[in-house]
Amino acid sequence: MVANTGVAHLAAAVQTAVVSLFAPVVPAACWSPYGVPVALLGDQHAPCRGSRAVHCPVPGHPCLTVVSAVAACDALDQLTARGARTAAHALERQ
């Protein structure tokens, strides 16, 4: 799990699934990692959306405070389970 897109892109570069806490200050469609399974967590419709802010302009950081540790762990579990199923399927086809 990462909270910075730089680290998320490094993980994707080495073919690692990514759970990213992604603030909507830039569009996820343009800046999220690609080529690997990705779970983007965070309210992508929060008031800071599209602001390109470096420091959150909205008190309380509502776009990310809605993400619980349980939600992050659940997303990670789902991605790793999907990866395990994909790997098992690939082995079956060999």
Nearest Cα to 22, choosing from 43, 51, 46?
43
Q: What pLDDT does residue 84 have?
A: 52
pLDDT tens digit sequence for 11-59 = 889 998 889 888 888 888 888 888 888 898 999 999 989 998 888 888 8
Distance CA 93, CA 42 (A): 37
Rounded mean pLDDT, 60-75: 90
Side chain identity, residue 82: R
Among the residues of the chain, which ranges form H helices?
5-13, 28-31, 62-65, 69-93
Query: Model pTM greater than 0.95?
Result: no
Q: What share of the chain is helix, strand, coil (3-state, %, to 5)?
A: 45, 10, 45
